[in-house]
Structure 1
Amino acid sequence: MKKWIALIIVLLIIVGWTSIDTYRSANQYRTQQGEEAIQIAKEKEPDLEVNNISFYNGNQSYAILYGEVDGESQIHCVPTNGKGEIIVVDPTKGISADEAVQLLTEERNPLSIKSVNLGIEQDVPIWEIIYLDQKNRYSYYYVTFKDGEFIKRYTL
């Protein structure tokens, strides 16, 4: 009986250690991507002060850097694979995340909003809204950042 208890404890330690190591590796990779994106953006715009970073994974992956240049808000979308141009978005030249959600709500009547992310598709800034639909399915809704024009939606 003591052997079984010892075996179970050893297995739990191994599973816990593996889980923590996997989480740490994934988090370290994201941190590294963010740091590289900041370096690339600062080469183009040395005065950029980054306040927040998010990531978008569509046809191409981007690090989305929210920050300021000379007191003006700017968003720098940096391709994480190093291919393509940095896209600079002026937050005052498009709809807000709340306005994008309002457009979705008027058209689809979601049960709940899971996330709203800025992204880039074919060099066009977009809002990606992930939500639960009326049948409790995860759904994705995409509108343009510039004016909220509907692009596409799909459900899992």
Structure 2
Amino acid sequence: MKNWLIFGIIFMISLGLAIVSLVLWKADAPFNKWEQKAEDLAIESKSLAIVSNSYVYNGNKPYVTVFGEDEYGKQKAIFVPISLEEDLIQEVFLQDGITEEQALSVLRNETNVKEIIHTKLGYEEAGAVWEITYTNDAEKLNYVYILFEDGQWWKRILNL
């Protein structure tokens, strides 16, 4: 009887882990599809020669931010709209703006940051922006947007 009980417990735990893994894998599938299509479009449109990374950025309009090098070896970020319309693609040379570390430094100089949740380069009506999501000392969620071009504050959404 004891062996059946142990078997049942182990089986239920294994089944639970398998179900959780399947749900997480299926939930991430649409993002992976968009990222792959955006990477392919960035290469086909000759905006990039080599792709190094990409992720989905959800601002006022959703974009896939694709990082890589152009044919001359210059580092670029390409902002591909989810609609995959080639004429709406935006791009910036990474050398022409502030880095992720510099954006985090601007944030830490002006606010109390407990934990950085994520930092993403995205595209908004103001142009390329660093979106930084963090929690403060009061455990409140905060979003700040820092302009990629010059490191100035663009928008703050605080204490959610």
Pairwise TM-score range, normalised by the shorter structure: 0.7 to 0.9
5 Å-filtered alignment, 1:24-43, equals 24-43=25-44
| 1:20 aligned onto 2:28 | no
**TM-score w.r.t. structure 2 length?**
0.83
- Do 1:87 and 1:123's aligned partners in 2 also have CA atoms closer than 8 Å? no
Q: 1 CA distance for matches of 2:139 and 2:58?
A: 23
Q: CA RMSD in A?
A: 2.3
Tell me what 2:81 maps to.
79
Tell me what 2:105 maps to.
102
**1:100-152 C-alpha deviation (Å, 9 max, x unpaired):** 11111111121232221101112610001111112121211111111122111
In the superposition, relative to structure 1, how do residues 128 and 46 fare at CA in structure 2: closer, same or farther (>3 Å)? Answer: closer
Structure 2: give runs of 5+ residues left out of the alignment. Answer: none
5 Å-filtered alignment, 1:34-53, equals 34-45=35-46, 48-53=49-54
Tell me what 1:64 maps to.
65
- Do 2:117 and 2:135's aligned partners in 1 also have CA atoms closer than 8 Å? yes
- Do 2:48 and 2:76's aligned partners in 1 also have CA atoms closer than 8 Å? no
Q: What amino acid is aligned across from residue 22 of structure 1 in structure 2? A: V
Identity score, percent: 29
- Do 2:133 and 2:144's aligned partners in 1 also have CA atoms closer than 8 Å? yes
Q: 2 CA distance for matches of 1:30 and 1:63?
A: 9
Tell me what 1:142 maps to.
145
**TM-score w.r.t. structure 1 length?**
0.85
Q: What amino acid is aligned across from residue 79 of structure 1 in structure 2? A: P
| Alignment counterpart, residue 117 of structure 1, candidates 99, 103, 120 | 120
TM-fit CA distance, 1:41: 1.2
In terms of mean alpha carbon deviation, does 16-25 or 63-72 score higher?
16-25
Structure 1: give runs of 5+ residues left out of the alignment. Answer: none
- Do 1:49 and 1:68's aligned partners in 2 also have CA atoms closer than 8 Å? yes
Q: 2 CA distance for matches of 1:146 and 1:12?
A: 50
TM-fit CA distance, 1:74: 1.0
TM-fit CA distance, 1:18: 2.7
